[in-house]
Amino acid sequence: MSDFDAIIVGSGCAGAIAAYELAQAGKSVLVVERGNYAGAKNMTGGRLYTHALKQVFPNFEDEAPLERRITHERISMMTPDSNFTIDFSSDDMLVSGQDSYSVLRGSLDGWLADKAEAAGADYIFGIPVEELVKDGNRVVGIKAGEDEMTADVVILCDGANSLLTKEAVGFERPRGSAMAVGVKQVIELPASVIEDRLLANEGEGAAWLFVGDATKGHVGGGFVYTNKESVSLGIVATISDLASADTPIYQMLEDMKAHPAIAPLIKGGKVVEHSGHMVPEGGRDMMPPLVGDGVILAGESAMMCVNLGYMVRGMDYAIAAGMHAGRSAVAALDAGDTSAAGLGGYVKALEESFVLKDLEQFKRFPHFMESTTRIFNEYPAFVRNAMNTLFIVDGTPVAPLKKSMMPHVKNIGIINLLKDVWKGMKAL
């Protein structure tokens, strides 16, 4: 007889949602979270696409701790002495189920944990789980501290740097080119200042991504998300590429904050949080097996994250995976079969949902980013030079546009430009 129907390791988006689904179905659930509270170890900063959460909590907008509704999409190509930004807004971004919000994970994860507890899940905080209990190849529980607890199914949601996935399903640590390291600061500013500086209405904000000088030309980028009374600002860079960087990532962050495109936004702000985190960026090809005998993997433990340069997603995948993990675990428990085959409904549900369809669609993109380094150095410089040609007026006669632009194109090479465009289109 097991101590619990299900034990969940980690109370991020995936873990808390899985616990909620199991508890709602009347199952005995224990969640073990290594942080002192839900969200203590999560530094995602932080955009939530609402469609997945709406499937679990249809009226979440009425009570969830949301920051600002994202009404501006900004993408910048940055060099040390320039910044080219596209600012896009659309009424379609306001449609329920198509909208998104900035969030602070300390607050959001706490709210999700409260929902799971209210549904009947038990929680233990402040204890890391470093080992699984196994019966042969079957996972039958966990060891937390000096305690051993058993369950019919264990759901691993303990993050990108999981200590348990190798033991659970034989997943080897990913290569450095498939993982990134992120550093983030939360900078406190008055709400009215944020709105004035972003040209946004009250309660609205921006998701702003940077490529180029933010990472000193290395693979990765910068981000800014506007919260109610703060901005989340950070850098994410591929670990393998950072090894050859002359500038450490913490200095990249400080240099980005001092860049003329960023400094006016955060002027007068106070840093109230500084954190770091590993981020999976290898896509579908780096994912581990999602089930084993007695075990399910969800969220970042299953490497469910995608960075497309113009868009970063992970939370909506984790929420959907948590929902399907919880519901599939309930079905397996009811059927009395929590073997890998009995838990296979989880994999099938993900295959039929946007989660694995998206990750399959974009599985070639990480290699495209890794192999097309011109995106991070030559193209931002090309855009700067082209914009200077268009907008600088110094009294010299203006040459035909075709003639004035051609030297900038030749610096990259027309063939290289066409090849990169074609590769990018194939990867997407």
Contacts of 415 by beta carbon, 8 Å cutoff, 6+ apart: none
Q: Provide the pLDDT confidence category of residue 46 given band limits of 50, 70 and 90.
A: confident
Task: Say how far apart CA 293 and CA 354 lie, in whole Å.
Answer: 25
Above 80 in pLDDT, residue 253? yes
For residues 28 and 37, what is the distance between their CA atoms, to the nearest angstrom? 21
CATH number assigned to the domain comprising residue 8: 3.50.50.60
Provide the pLDDT for residue 44.
66
pLDDT reported for residue 427: 79
The mean per-residue pLDDT over the stretch 279-297 comes to 92
Q: Is 398 within the bounds of a domain?
A: yes
Four-point Cα dihedral 262, 263, 269, 270, nearest 10: 90
Range of the domain at 375: 368-427
Q: How many domains does the chain have?
A: 3
Q: Return the higher-pLDDT residue of 372 and 211.
A: 211
> What's residue 307's pLDDT?
85
Please name the residue that has the structure tokens 């930004």: 85
Q: For residue 188, which amino acid is it?
A: E
Helix (H, G, I), strand (E, B) or coil at 322: helix
> In this structure, which amino acid lies at residue 198?
L
The answer on 236 and 114 residing in a single domain is no
Domain shared by 158 and 57, yes or no = yes
Strands 122-125 and 100-104: unpaired
Which amino acid is residue 202, in one-letter code? E
Could you tell me if residue 351 is inside a domain?
A: yes
- Domain assignment present for residue 82? The answer is no
The answer to whether residue 381 sits within a structural domain is yes
Higher pLDDT, 100 or 241: 100
Q: Are residues 55 and 134 in the same domain?
A: yes
CB count in 10 Å sphere of residue 301 = 31
For the chain, what is the radius of gyration of the CA atoms? 23
pLDDT given at position 411: 87
Taking residues 23-49, what's their average pLDDT? 89
Lowest mean pLDDT among 94-98, 272-276, 326-330, 410-414: 410-414
Residue 46 domain-assigned (yes or no)? yes
Check whether residue 148 and residue 44 sit in a common domain.
yes
Residue 95, classed as helix, strand or coil, is coil
Answer whether residue 143 is part of any domain. Answer: yes
The per-residue pLDDT for range 302-334, each reduced to its tens digit, is 999 988 888 889 999 999 999 999 999 999 999
Average pLDDT over all residues of the chain: 93
Report residue 395: phi and psi, to 5°. 95, -10
Cα–Cα distances in angstroms (integers) from residue 75 to residues 78, 158, 224, 389, in the given order: 10, 31, 10, 21
Average pLDDT (165-189) is 90
Q: Can you give the pLDDT at residue 177? A: 79
| 168 and 317 co-located in one domain | yes
Using the 3D structure, point to which of 263, 280, 297 is the last residue of a domain: 280
Q: What is the pLDDT of residue 146?
A: 84
Nearest to 47 by CA among 249, 195, 208: 208
- Please state which of the ranges 37-46, 48-57, 83-92 shows the lowest mean pLDDT: 37-46
d(C-alpha 169, C-alpha 172), whole Å: 9
Residues 287 and 150 in one domain: yes
Residues 151 and 203 in one domain: no
Torsion sign, CA atoms 120, 50, 45, 323: positive
Indicate if 24 and 170 belong to the same structural domain: yes
**pLDDT on residue 414:** 86
Give a yes or no: residue 341 inside a domain.
yes
Please, which residues have CB within 8 angstroms of residue 14's CB and are 6 or more apart in sequence? 157, 298, 299, 300, 301, 304, 318, 319, 321, 322, 325
151 and 288 in a single domain? The answer is: yes
The domain spanning residue 195 has which CATH number?
3.30.9.90
Mean pLDDT on 265-288 = 90
Residue where a domain terminates, one of 280, 312, 344: 280
Q: What pLDDT shows up at residue 308?
A: 85
Name the band, by pLDDT with cuts 50, 70 and 90, for residue 45. low
Query: Would 89 be classed as within a structural domain?
Result: no
Amino acid identity of 85? T
Same domain, 274 and 190: yes
**DSSP conformation letters of 79-136:** ETTEEEEEEE--GGGGSTTT-EEEEEHHHHHHHHHHHHHHHT-EEEES--EEEEEEET
Same domain, 239 and 339: no
Which of 232, 250, 280 marks a domain boundary? 280
Query: Per 3-state DSSP, what percentage of the chain is helix, strand, and coil (rounded to 5)?
Result: 40, 30, 30
Nearest to 46 by CA among 313, 237, 309: 313
Same domain, 246 and 383: no
Give per-residue pLDDT as tens, 122-152: 999 999 998 999 999 999 999 988 889 999 9
What's residue 143's pLDDT?
94
- Local confidence band at 386 (pLDDT 50, 70, 90 cut-offs): very high
The DSSP secondary-structure symbol of 121 reads -
What the block records as the tokens of 43 is 């530094």
102 versus 425: which is more confidently predicted? 102
